[in-house]
Amino acid sequence: MDNRNDSLDPRQDGNPYDATDATERRGVSSSTSQDQAAANAVGAGSTEDLPDDTFASRGAVKQTVGIGRKTESGSVIFPAFDDHHPPEKDLIDDCVHCGFCLPTCPTYVLFGEEMDSPRGRIYLMNKGLNEEPLNDQMVRHFDLCLGCMACVTACPSGVQYDKLIEATRGQVERRYERTAQDKAFREMIFQLFPYPNRLRVAAAPLKLYQRFGVGDKLKKAGLMKVLPKRMRAMEALMPMLTKQQEVPEFSPAVGEKRMTVGFIKGCVQRVFFSEVNAATVRVLNAEGCDVVTPKAQGCCGALSVHAGREEEFQAFARKLIDEFEDSGVDRIIINAAGCGSTLKEYGYLLRDDRAYAEKARNFSAKVRDVSEFLQELGPVAERQPMPVAAAYHDACHLAHSQGIRKQPRQTLKQIPGMEVREIKEAELCCGSAGIYNMVEPEPATELGDRKATNVLNTGARMVVTSNPGCMLQIQASLKRMGTSMPMAHPMEVLDASIRGESVETLLLNR
Amino acid sequence: MGMASSRLVDRMTEILGPEGVISEREQLRAYECDGLMNYRVIPEIVVLPETAEHVQRIVRYCHDEGIPFVARGSGTGLSGGALPVESGVLIVLSRMRRILEVDIPNQRVVVEPGVINIWVSQAVADEGYYYAPDPASQIVSSIGGNLAENSGGVHCLKYGFTTNHVMGAEVVLPDGTMVNIGGGKAPDAPGYELLGAFVGSEGTLGIATKITLRVVRKPASVKTLLAAFKDTEEAGDAVSGIIGSGIVPAAIEMMDSLCIEAVETAVHPGFPQAGAVLIVELDGPEAEVSSQFDQTIEICEKANASEIRIAQDDEERALFWKGRKAAFAAMGRIANDYYVQDAVVPRTELGATLKRISELGSEYGMRVANVFHAGDGNLHPLVLYDNDVPGEAEKAEDLAGEIVMTCLEHGGSLTGEHGIGRDKMKYMPKMFTTEDMDTMQLLRCAFDPHHICNPGKVFPTPRLCGEKPGPFHMHPVQKAGLAENF
């Protein structure tokens, strides 16, 4: 017998689903220092204080094969999965190994390796059910998946890869022992991004940092190069901060009221793109909707669930459901693709929770992406001409996860004069993928540059997309390539059109 | 299953760098089968060359050390042609995916073997050209794999198989020699037609590292219809009628009711509920297509078509084909596993063969879905089963075997386009005499005397050069000095 199978995970003996993991996760920093730690990290103006190897990247190289060897944590768990939501055998069996998913998978496109394709990962999951342990190699290939779900679109057999990878990630996070640095870096991300207040604190030094051009100076001095890769990736992603625009708790319909809708602000969206939220609410009002935006709302848990942090996700989800419990809204509107796909899965993700299963199903049934909702509702507000060519970028979590492709394009095309241009390789992820571009910067950068090149090749004057992560990612890639392009959410374009703004105003400062 | 010997790993790492070598057991397992999951072998090592020179150095090393090797492209083959060899090297060409040259005036495109079939058409689409062979897997299968299997596709009735569209190839022979076979820009080359022998040799004669393909102009006009029939027999009558009238359609495809059900669930092409549907496509000059299309409609009506739907635009045509091309993969919607055959029968025997297949299905109590290239009688019966039910896989294989035998009895052939591979080699003696096969083996031995190049495929019994899977051992007859290698 393979001796690697002998070293069982010590946690195996007890209840594999006990609280130790969660405790460990939360024990990284005390709550008082969390905000500052996070600020340090994102501010990047202060990251030079960090020892060089604190968050050392695991040395992502061009191909994955070498990576597995470099990053051994030595954790070997057999069997790979326990009984708490392993990747379901029935879902695995839907895969007939035809390979139609390969060319749409970003990591297969980059690496050309079977293990880094959906078919290969499903094959590994199946082996993990009874034959092979969960070890560094296995985890590496699961980690490298961006979760873009392009394979779900491509699959003729209807394999629900989304459910399979989410289940697998939950198992990995609970059972696999990551290296100390990897754990710390992930922990920092999850102490920061789902918490808008912390993100805002973090963003404050960032403002100074940007104002004084610290990043540029560091770059000139070559100092950026000595920062760990992951930190550099994070620094490169940070956008210029603009003035915060608050969304009121209640915002009435303009003219005849057609519906009452709830609005979810998102986390990254409200901190870095608060103007998108403001525009969304104005559009909804203009289209005859009363908009209710619970002030206290927290994170929807999308980042957590996509990273397999099940308990953390569930806590976020329950809280958000509670916040909308008595709001009496007909629909719940979201303008960020990544949040939207998770909100629509609440019913499935909380299926085991007796107290919340039904509430979650009802909640999910009301959730709509804003473009999807507007097309259901039909336009009433008058659109002023906006004669500009815009490249529309499909966010994976909108196109692949929610199957929403036509609606945002339709929304744009309903604006007189608007020309919507298609981007080559539209199905291919831009590399943002939640926290992916921070934890796996190298493949993400490669994908980002590829996307940015395709965007530029459209010759359009601006790029429009429905996800904040994609915006940050494409912006960062364009900047790296020494260029830029105005960027907007479909709601900003529509808002500008309804308000009769000029093209030049729309393009300004974006 | 041993880990790769450290010497082999070291040598391959020397050639490719660590990022081109896979030797961890869990990773190797992802390569243990190709598109056919019935056979699985964990290779000793997987290597991912990026250049022809890499391939040459790998093969030369294998030759010097007597290590067997297997080439693999996208791993979508359906006959186990890229099934690894135990203790062997699996050479995966998925990183050799550059389009090297697009030469429209000479209608040529030069590609590396890992280039995906449809990329070739995409590369020349703006100039109004395309690459004709279009296997259903064209969005993923590689040109190298197409070459090895001599892939067909729905349009090969009129345009021919891969072999009709390959002009030349740079090949690394099993001893590491690099040669060019076939012509260059000139349409024909003197001497033996080695290209003809190489294309369809299922990876047993060497590894193509550079392939010159012919691209053709897109037809001026394309018309596609979908006709529904009560059963496959009536649809078969329509096929005979169309071909018999002298029309050469670009494609005629048939799907039976089970198949329609599966693709409807999977990709919603909006096919009518019927016992069988035919997709007929005509292409060519406008006037010719137009008059023959009317004739085709007439023939379908005469054969009692219950519904005829004409694709109104490219989008609708694409939807028809999407339904057809997703057929295999869509089986996952109605069954856990399937076993596909690829036999060919003379067109005139279609009706009788299908009837017998349906009887066999009832006898075995198993569902058999049929989707096939009706124009050239290339059947793809899919035996549906559940691998988790003990004995079902074997039963499915038996039934599939009987189906193949039925096809042979009707004057048919074992395979139309998927190849013999590992899967169908046991049936070779049913189709060929010993002398026939020995003659083929002579050719193989001339290229690969040490039988290290994709051994254990195509031919069932080790003969002549003592071919069998695994490291090279001298045949007893050779040891006794009674025979020698070529």
pLDDT in tens, A200-254: 877 766 655 565 666 666 666 555 555 667 877 877 777 767 778 889 999 999 9
Strand order in the sheet with A259-264: A250-251, A289-292, A259-264, A331-334, A367-369
Report pLDDT for B464.
54
Which of A328-332, B127-131, B154-158, B287-291 comes out lowest in average pLDDT? B154-158
Chain B positions in Cβ-Cβ contact with residue A98 (cut-off 8 Å): 35, 76, 137, 140, 328-329
Residue B485 lies in a domain: no
Residue B38 lies in a domain: yes
Tokens of A310: 């099940």
Strand order in the sheet with B21-22: B21-22, B45-47, B89-92, B69-72
Chain B positions in Cβ-Cβ contact with residue A95 (cut-off 8 Å): 332
Chain A positions in Cβ-Cβ contact with residue B336 (cut-off 8 Å): 93-94
Distance between CA atoms of residues A442 and B50, nearest Å: 20
Report pLDDT for B462.
58
Distance between CA atoms of residues A285 and B183, nearest Å: 69
Alpha carbon separation from B153 to A231, A417, B77, B92 (Å, rounded):
50, 43, 13, 24
Instruction: Report the CATH number at residue B168.
Output: 3.30.465.10
Q: Going by C-beta distance under 8 Å and a sequence separation of 6 or more, which residues neighbour residue B67?
A: B8, B44, B61, B87, B88, B89, B452, B471
Nearest-neighbour CA in chain A from B189: distance (Å): 35
DSSP state of B61: H
Chain B positions in Cβ-Cβ contact with residue A65 (cut-off 8 Å): 18-22, 27, 48
Interface test with A, best of B26, B328, B392 (most A CBs within 10 A): B26
Q: Do A2 and B76 touch (CB under 8 A)?
A: no
In B104-172, beta strands by DSSP E? 108-111, 129-130, 166-172
Nearest-neighbour CA in chain A from B61: distance (Å): 22
Residues B81 and B10 in one domain: yes
Confidence class for position A32, pLDDT limits 50, 70, 90: very low
Q: Is the pLDDT of residue A12 over 60?
A: no
Nearest-neighbour CA in chain B from A122: distance (Å): 9
Domain boundary among B164, B193, B217: B217
Residue B457 lies in a domain: yes
Interface test with B, best of A93, A98, A425 (most B CBs within 10 A): A98
Chain A positions in Cβ-Cβ contact with residue B136 (cut-off 8 Å): none
Confidence class for position B57, pLDDT limits 50, 70, 90: very high
Confidence class for position A163, pLDDT limits 50, 70, 90: very high
Tokens of B143: 């040109």
Residue of chain A whose Cα is closest to the Cα of B21:
A65
Q: Do A63 and B75 touch (CB under 8 A)?
A: no
Residue B321 lies in a domain: yes
Tokens of A178: 């990551």
Nearest-neighbour CA in chain B from A22: distance (Å): 29
Tokens of A225: 């190069």
Residues B123 and B155 in one domain: yes
Strand order in the sheet with B166-172: B99-103, B108-111, B207-214, B166-172, B178-182
Residues B350 and B448 in one domain: no
Residue of chain B whose Cα is closest to the Cα of A118:
B30
Contact B455, B86 (CB under 8 A): no
Residue B34 lies in a domain: yes
Distance between CA atoms of residues A361 and A348, nearest Å: 8
Domain boundary among B333, B358, B389: B333
Residue A96 has its nearest CB partner, among B18, B141, B331, at B331
Residues B241 and B274 in one domain: yes
Work out the average pLDDT over B168-181.
Answer: 97
Nearest-neighbour CA in chain A from B280: distance (Å): 22
Q: Do B137 and A98 touch (CB under 8 A)?
A: yes
Confidence class for position A456, pLDDT limits 50, 70, 90: very high
Contact B245, B310 (CB under 8 A): no
Q: Which helix (H) or strand (E) holds B393?
A: helix B392-409
Domain boundary among B333, B358, B379: B333
Q: Which residue's structure tokens are 């660590």?
A: B18
Residues in a beta bridge with B180: B170
Report pLDDT for B348.
83
Interface test with A, best of B22, B27, B380, B386 (most A CBs within 10 A): B27
Residue of chain B whose Cα is closest to the Cα of A122:
B30
**In the predicted model, what is the mean pLDDT of chain A?**
84
Q: Count CA within 13 A, CB hemisphere, residue A398.
A: 28
Report pLDDT for B225.
96
Q: Is the pLDDT of residue B473 over 70?
A: no
Q: Which residues of A touch B (CB under 8 A)?
A: 2, 61-66, 68-69, 93-100, 102-103, 108, 112-115, 120, 123-124, 127, 132-133, 135, 137-138, 141, 155-159
Q: Do B76 and A93 touch (CB under 8 A)?
A: no
Cα dihedral B161/B162/B168/B170 (nearest 10): -150
Report pLDDT for B59.
98
| Burial call B7-41: b when 16+ CB within 10 Å, e when fewer | ebbebbbebbbbbbbbbbbbbbbbbbbbbbbbeeb
SS3 content of chain B, % helix, strand, coil (to 5): 40, 20, 40
Residue B19 has its nearest CB partner, among A61, A132, A155, at A61
Q: Going by C-beta distance under 8 Å and a sequence separation of 6 or more, which residues neighbour residue A87?
A: A81, A125, A128, A129, A163, A164, A165, A167, A168, A171
Which of A21-30, A345-354, B378-387 comes out lowest in average pLDDT? A21-30
Q: Do B332 and A65 touch (CB under 8 A)?
A: no
B52: left (phi over 0), alpha (psi -120 to 50) or beta: alpha
Residue B333 has its nearest CB partner, among A64, A98, A157, at A157
Chain B positions in Cβ-Cβ contact with residue A124 (cut-off 8 Å): 26, 29-30
Q: Is the pLDDT of residue A160 over 70?
A: yes
Domain count, chain B: 5
Q: Do B332 and A135 touch (CB under 8 A)?
A: no
Residue of chain B whose Cα is closest to the Cα of A95:
B332
Nearest-neighbour CA in chain B from A165: distance (Å): 16
Q: Count CA within 13 A, CB hemisphere, residue B312.
A: 0
Chain A positions in Cβ-Cβ contact with residue B4 (cut-off 8 Å): none
Q: Is the pLDDT of residue A164 over 80?
A: yes
Report pLDDT for B333.
87
Nearest-neighbour CA in chain A from B32: distance (Å): 10
**In the predicted model, what is the mean pLDDT of chain B?**
91
Residues B307 and B266 in one domain: yes
What are A40-93's pLDDT values in tens digits? 433 322 322 222 322 222 233 344 443 433 456 788 888 899 999 999 999 999
Residue A18's φ and ψ, nearest 5 degrees, are -80, -175
Say how many C-beta atoms besides its own lie within 10 A of residue A131's C-beta.
Answer: 13
Contact B255, B371 (CB under 8 A): yes
Q: What is the ipTM of this complex?
A: 0.89
Residues B201 and B239 in one domain: no
Work out the average pLDDT over B311-338.
Answer: 89
Task: Check residues A248 and B154 and name the one with the higher pLDDT.
Answer: A248
Residues B189 and B258 in one domain: no
Q: Do A157 and B331 touch (CB under 8 A)?
A: yes
Report pLDDT for A222.
59
Residue B486 lies in a domain: no
Residue A65 has its nearest CB partner, among B19, B266, B332, at B19
Residues B144 and B203 in one domain: yes
Report pLDDT for B153.
85
Instruction: Report the CATH number at residue B292.
Output: 3.30.70.2190
Nearest-neighbour CA in chain A from B240: distance (Å): 31
Residues B322 and B342 in one domain: no
Q: Is the pLDDT of residue A327 over 80?
A: yes
What are B5-49's pLDDT values in tens digits? 889 999 999 999 999 999 999 899 999 999 999 899 999 999 999
Question: Which one-letter amino acid corresponds to residue A69?
Answer: R
Nearest-neighbour CA in chain B from A507: distance (Å): 32
In B142-199, beta strands by DSSP E? 166-172, 178-182
**Domain span holding position B141:** 99-217
Residues B347 and B410 in one domain: yes
Residue B363 lies in a domain: yes
Q: Do A102 and B74 touch (CB under 8 A)?
A: yes
Nearest-neighbour CA in chain B from A400: distance (Å): 15
Instruction: Report the CATH number at residue B395.
Output: 3.30.70.2740
Chain A positions in Cβ-Cβ contact with residue B92 (cut-off 8 Å): 112-114
Residue of chain A whose Cα is closest to the Cα of B269:
A156
Residues B138 and B109 in one domain: yes
Work out the average pLDDT over A483-493.
Answer: 96
Domains of chain A: 10-16+30-58+179-237 (no CATH), 72-175 (1.10.1060.10), 250-375 (3.40.50), 379-507 (3.40.50.11810)
Residue B484 lies in a domain: no
Residues B286 and B324 in one domain: yes
